[in-house]
């Protein structure tokens, strides 16, 4: 089979590779469509170290090509969406249901080989049956969608509330749609106005560029009160965290999904004084089914986020495209 193999930082080559053998409990999946994200880019660039050689890629849809001994579901030929993280299943965190927090969690495309290849071996417990009638490309974004489904649930967003999304990338534009599906009126805040037309099309009630004026004033104007009920931060920078805190109302909630690697200054005086609830949200626990349901029901539109498509042989161009300002979601289609 062909696979894009990373031999070291920025040393990515599409090569003939040995087809993985599915063991007991595994499926061999033929990749149909795969998404590229910032995590892949940070591995590609060497900012995030992995053991080499490594096949990257963790957002994907495909068809079961073979299964290991004793596997009854999925069956050969089934179309599946892959949940690309699996936990140990036996530690106290896993046993209490917090498998996303497991300290020895395995991430496909990071710790083991992923989907920038014709075939991938995955544990069958990572395979979700794809809803009939929903195209591969529409389901390709299920993984990041599951991230924001959880984030919105962690924010306990209710019908009729105001919400804000900080960041207008893939996660921000998905969070906007999940919040709208939950009945919130959504303000999209971004440093750039580039995605605002799309945000409007996907259901934003308003948009605000950071340079356009103070965020607390924008939040007051949008909410008609002291600020926004629930703010979902998706940009993963220290500035975005402070933007979220500027937008939220006293007694409101801030959900953090981004992972800022730099130290982040938080004015805890104003957190305490205003009784702001700050919650982290880490990937997903059981949100894949709901993410696929939202896509199948047309409540979340994923296709408009796919700005670029490349064949596996052109994967280096896909990584270049990912950095272009016009790129939202870059797809590798097989
Ligand atoms: Zn990703
Ligand atoms: Zn565990």
Q: What is the pLDDT of residues 26-40, one digit of tens each?
A: 999 999 999 999 999
Report how far ligand 1's centroid is from the alpha carbon of 199 (Å): 20
d(CA 301, CA 257): 20
Give the pLDDT confidence score for residue 294 in this predicted structure.
Answer: 98
Two domains, one topology: 2-141+302-333 and 145-280: no
Domain ranges of the chain: 2-141+302-333, 145-280
What is the average pLDDT value for the chain, to the nearest integer? Answer: 97
Instruction: Inform me whether the pLDDT recorded for 71 exceeds 90.
Output: yes
Dump the DSSP string for 124-163.
GGGEEEPPTT--HHHHTTHHHHHHHHHHHHHTT--TT-EE
Closest ligand to Cα 110 = 1
Report how far ligand 1's centroid is from the alpha carbon of 155 (Å): 21
Domain 2-141+302-333: homologous superfamily in CATH: Medium-chain alcohol dehydrogenases, catalytic domain (3.90.180.10)
pLDDT classification of 132: cutoffs 50, 70, 90? very high
Report how far ligand 2's centroid is from the alpha carbon of 5 (Å): 29
pLDDT classification of 174: cutoffs 50, 70, 90? very high
Give the pLDDT confidence score for residue 324 in this predicted structure.
Answer: 96
Q: What is the pLDDT of residues 306-330, one digit of tens each?
A: 999 999 999 999 999 999 999 999 9
Q: Average the pLDDT over 17-30 and give the result.
A: 97
pTM (2 decimals)?
0.97
pLDDT classification of 259: cutoffs 50, 70, 90? confident
Under CATH, to which class is 145-280 assigned? alpha beta
Q: What is the pLDDT of residues 285-307, one digit of tens each?
A: 999 999 999 999 999 999 999 99
Residues with Cβ < 8 Å from 34, sequence gap 6 or more?
Answer: 57, 59, 60, 61, 115, 116, 140, 331, 332, 333, 334
Report how far ligand 2's centroid is from the alpha carbon of 106 (Å): 10
Report how far ligand 1's centroid is from the alpha carbon of 38 (Å): 7
Instruction: Inform me whether the pLDDT recorded for 144 exceeds 90.
Output: yes
Q: Average the pLDDT over 55-64 and give the result.
A: 98
Q: What is the pLDDT of residues 210-227, one digit of tens each?
A: 999 999 999 999 999 999
Q: What is the pLDDT of residues 266-286, one digit of tens each?
A: 989 999 999 999 999 999 999
Residues with Cβ < 8 Å from 302, sequence gap 6 or more?
Answer: 137, 138, 139, 140, 141, 145, 174, 295
Report how far ligand 2's centroid is from the alpha carbon of 284 (Å): 14
Give the pLDDT confidence score for residue 261 in this predicted structure.
Answer: 82
Enumerate the H helices of the chain as residue ranges: 38-45, 92-95, 136-139, 142-154, 170-181, 196-201, 215-223, 238-247, 268-273, 288-296, 315-322
Give the pLDDT confidence score for residue 260 in this predicted structure.
Answer: 83
pLDDT classification of 81: cutoffs 50, 70, 90? very high
Report how far ligand 1's centroid is from the alpha carbon of 173 (Å): 14
């Amino acid at each position: 089979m062909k696979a894009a193999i990373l031999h070291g930082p920025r040393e990515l080559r599409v090569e003939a590779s040995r087809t993985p053998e599915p063991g007991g409990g595994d499926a061999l999946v033929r990749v149909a469509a795969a998404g590229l994200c910032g995590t892949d880019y940070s591995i590609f660039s060497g900012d995030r170290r992995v053991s080499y050689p490594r096949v990257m890629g963790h957002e994907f849809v495909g068809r079961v090509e073979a299964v290991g001994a004793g596997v009854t579901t999925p069956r050969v030929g089934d179309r599946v969406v892959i949940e690309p993280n699996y936990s140990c299943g036996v530690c106290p965190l896993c046993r209490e249901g917090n498998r996303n927090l497991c300290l020895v969690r395995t991430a496909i495309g990071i710790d083991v080989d992923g989907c920038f290849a014709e075939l991938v071996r995955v544990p069958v417990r990572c395979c979700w049956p794809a809803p009939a009638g929903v195209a591969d490309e529409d389901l390709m974004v299920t993984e990041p969608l599951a991230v924001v489904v959880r984030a919105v649930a962690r924010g306990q967003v209710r019908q009729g509330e105001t919400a804000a999304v900080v960041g207008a990338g893939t996660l921000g534009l998905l969070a906007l749609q999940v919040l709208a599906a939950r009945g919130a009126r959504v303000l999209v805040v971004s440093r750039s106005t580039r995605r605002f037309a799309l945000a409007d099309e996907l259901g934003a009630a308003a948009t605000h560029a950071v340079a356009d004026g103070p965020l607390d004033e924008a939040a007051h104007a949008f909410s008609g009160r002291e600020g926004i009920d629930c703010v979902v931060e998706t940009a993963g920078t220290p500035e975005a965290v402070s933007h979220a805190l500027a937008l939220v109302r006293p007694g409101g909630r801030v959900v953090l999904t981004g992972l800022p690697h730099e130290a982040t200054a938080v004015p805890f005086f104003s957190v305490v004084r205003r009784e702001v609830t700050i919650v982290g949200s880490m990937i997903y626990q059981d949100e894949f089914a709901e993410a696929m349901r939202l896509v199948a029901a047309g409540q979340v539109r994923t296709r408009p986020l796919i700005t670029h498509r490349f064949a596996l042989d052109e994967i280096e161009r896909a990584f270049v495209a990912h950095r272009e300002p016009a790129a939202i979601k870059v797809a590798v289609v097989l």
